[in-house]
Structure 1
Amino acid sequence: MAPQDSITVAAVEQQLKDIVQNLYGLIVQSVEYTINSDNAMKNEIQMLVQNMVRLAQMAPSVNINIPPEVTAYVEGSRNPDIFTREFVETVQRMNQMLKGRTEAYRLLQETLARDLIDGIPDLKDDITRTVEASGGKIPPPKAPAT
Structure 2
Amino acid sequence: MATEKAYEDTTTPLGSLQEEISSIIETFVHLGVQVHDFQGTQEAKLGLANHINKTISKLHDVSSRDDLRDIMIPTDLLNYIQDGRNPDIYTREFVEVVRKINQYLNGKSLAFENFRDTLAASIKQEFPELAPEVDSIKAKTSVSASLEDAAR
1:88 to 95, 101, 107: 95
User: Which blocks of at least 5 consecutive residues in structure 1 are unaligned?
Assistant: 1-5, 138-146
Matches within 5 A, 1:55-94: 55-60=59-64, 61=66, 62-63=68-69, 64-94=71-101
Instruction: Give the deviation of 1:75 after TM superposition.
Output: 1.5
Structure with more relative contact order (C-alpha pairs < 8 Å, separation 6 or more): 1
Instruction: Give the deviation of 1:132 after TM superposition.
Output: 1.1
1:120 aligns with: 127
Report if aligned partners of 1:22, 1:44 keep a CA contact under 8 Å in 2.
no
2:43 aligns with: 39
1:52 paired with 2:59, answer no
TM-score under structure 2 length normalisation: 0.69
1:107 to 83, 102, 114: 114
User: Which blocks of at least 5 consecutive residues in structure 2 are unaligned?
Assistant: 1-10, 145-152
Instruction: Give the deviation of 1:59 after TM superposition.
Output: 1.8
| Bigger-Rg structure (1/2) | 1
Q: Percent identity?
A: 24
TM-score under structure 1 length normalisation: 0.72
The CA distance in 2 between the partners of 1:126 and 1:34, in whole Å, is 85
1:21 to 23, 26, 50: 26
RMSD: 2.8
